Amino acid sequence: MGRQSMTASALTRRSLLGGLGGGLAAAGACGASLWRTAAAKDDAPNEPLAIEVKARALPHFQPSKPGANRFGDLEYRGGLVLTSPSEHFGGWSGLVMDADGMRLLAVSDVGTWMSASLTYGDNGAPAGLTQARIGPLLALSGRLLRDKREQDAESVALLDGSLEHGTLLIGFERVHRIGRFNIRDGQVQAPTEYLRRPPNSHMPTNQGFEAVTVIRAGELKGSPVAFAERFTRRSGYHSGWIWVNGRPQLIQLEDIDGFNITDAVGLPDGGLLILERYFRWTAGVHMRIRRLLPGEVKPGAKLAGHVVLQADTGYEIDNMEGMSVHRGSRGETVVSLISDNNFHTFWQRTVFLQFTLVE
């Protein structure tokens, strides 16, 4: 464990500089082959598959400072590097946790979903995943999504209910859309409808609805919110939308230092957290989380937010794309993150992290 901790930063930097750029361009070249082949032949096995997921603990978020626990407005609870012998495992771009943090659901950019139970150690740190299942996302008709243009799921939020019986919002790019998907007996069903598409939202093919969430309190409680990964139109602001009475209305988030938006999550107080990523070959990958306060997120708003956390390759991060929150056992707000390894298992990792948000 000591050797792994000492070398983690170097390995992460190697993975990011050696593979991330190519991975982002070639994401989805591997994975989900069974369902893709079946979709092409229209003989789809729609039932989910049970898979094994192995976990290696990440005891320190900043390996060079193993005694550090506080990072910005977050306290590190623990993390895992997740692997699986299943060819379908990977590419996780969106994450949602159940209300008690005991179960998660992730969606991938090759059109799959994964549900699993999360176990914890005596110290409250995540310890592993059990009862993991992977299944295909479906079209309105119930058929499999046939190709990358249809399959590229990038975000997920729990609209109501639970991960056993509830309703999800799932955002896709390439064919840009946000669908309502029911969950029955823990299994994601075909969508029942898609949200109304925002006007004048001709987003780049691979930079569409990267972040989808729901406002959890206040006058706009229950309203879906979405942000494009990068759709600035040279305005200096990222484009987002809030659906009020089913109609999308523009909101904007200041574009700071060229970061792209990769996810968003609604906080219990009615505010939002925004997850961002920056990548350059010369600098590796960076992660940033910004907080938007209750009442700030409303139609027509131009927002800047407060930086909660910023991290680079000196920390245990990878291509962080999914984020969720839940209440801990003491009522604290727990922030969970997951990375998209682009199915490049040699160069990149599936990293799962948890923090406590310091109020």
State the chain's mean pLDDT as an integer. Answer: 89
- Chain segment 335-351, per-residue pLDDT in tens: 999 999 999 988 899 99
- Chain segment 182-210, per-residue pLDDT in tens: 999 999 999 999 999 998 888 988 889 99
Q: Residue 238 contacts by C-beta under 8 Å, 6 or more apart in sequence?
A: 227, 228, 230, 231, 232, 252, 253, 254, 255, 261
- To the question of pTM greater than 0.85 for the whole model, the response is yes
Q: What is the pLDDT of residue 243?
A: 98
The Cα 118–Cα 305 span in angstroms is 31
Give whole-number Cα distances, 72 to 68, 123, 270, in Å: 11, 21, 21
The closest of 92, 126, 45 to 335, measured between CA atoms, is 126
Mean pLDDT along residues 241-261: 97
Q: What is the pLDDT of residue 40?
A: 53
Q: What is the pLDDT of residue 359?
A: 83
Mean pLDDT along residues 249-274: 97
- Chain segment 58-94, per-residue pLDDT in tens: 999 999 999 999 999 999 999 999 999 999 999 999 9
Q: Are 250 and 257 in contact (CB under 8 A)?
A: no
Pairing mode, strands 302-303 and 247-254: parallel
Q: What is the pLDDT of residue 206?
A: 86
Q: What is the pLDDT of residue 35?
A: 63
* Among 27-41, 124-138, 155-169, 206-220, the least confident range: 27-41
The closest of 255, 318, 262, 251 to 289, measured between CA atoms, is 262
Q: What is the pLDDT of residue 15?
A: 42
β-partners of residue 308 are none
Q: How far is CA 152 from the centre of its chain?
A: 13
- Output phi, psi for 199, to 5 deg: -70, 150
Quick check: 249 pLDDT over 90? yes
Q: What is the pLDDT of residue 47?
A: 81
- Chain segment 98-108, per-residue pLDDT in tens: 999 999 999 99
